Amino acid sequence: MDLRTRSEDNLQVVSVHDSRIDAAVAIEFKDAMRQSTDGGSETVVLDLSEVQFIDSSGLGAIVAAMKHMGQSRTLALAGLTPTVDKVFRLTRMDSVFSVFPTLDGALKELKH
């Protein structure tokens, strides 16, 4: 699971360089997210623009990553492709996360 992290002012951006977050890699993704976000900034933007497919295991792994960051930090999601967006919409998980159609939009909104 290839995650790349960079800082943008007050934000940490974690970009997923894989086309799928599915049952085969959900645990690996969860561990990689833990490593990337531990000790990081208060707000983390997860850039999903390269992810074409996510299943319920991948969704669960993203929820686990948010829970691991704790109440005081925010995990925002950016760049949801059509099928990824569908999973978040159908499960209503789009109401639990801050969801931004594009990474640029998320940065504009969240940077300060």
Q: Tell me whether residue 79 or residue 107 sits nearer to another protein (CB atom).
A: 79
Those residues whose C-beta lies under 8 Å from the C-beta of residue 94, and which sit 6 or more positions away, are 85, 88
Near another protein in 43-72, by CB under 8 A: 53, 55-57, 59-61, 63-64, 66-67, 70-71
Q: What are all long-range contacts of 99-105, with beta carbons under 8 Å and residues at least 24 apart?
A: 100/45, 100/76, 102/49, 102/78, 103/13, 103/45, 103/47, 103/49, 103/78, 103/79, 105/78
**Residue 77 binds another protein (CB under 8 A):** no
**Residue 93 binds another protein (CB under 8 A):** yes
**Residue 20 binds another protein (CB under 8 A):** yes
Return the amino acid letter for 27.
I
Which residues of this protein are in contact with another protein, per CB under 8 A?
20, 22-24, 53, 55-57, 59-61, 63-64, 66-67, 70-71, 82-83, 86-87, 90-93, 95-96
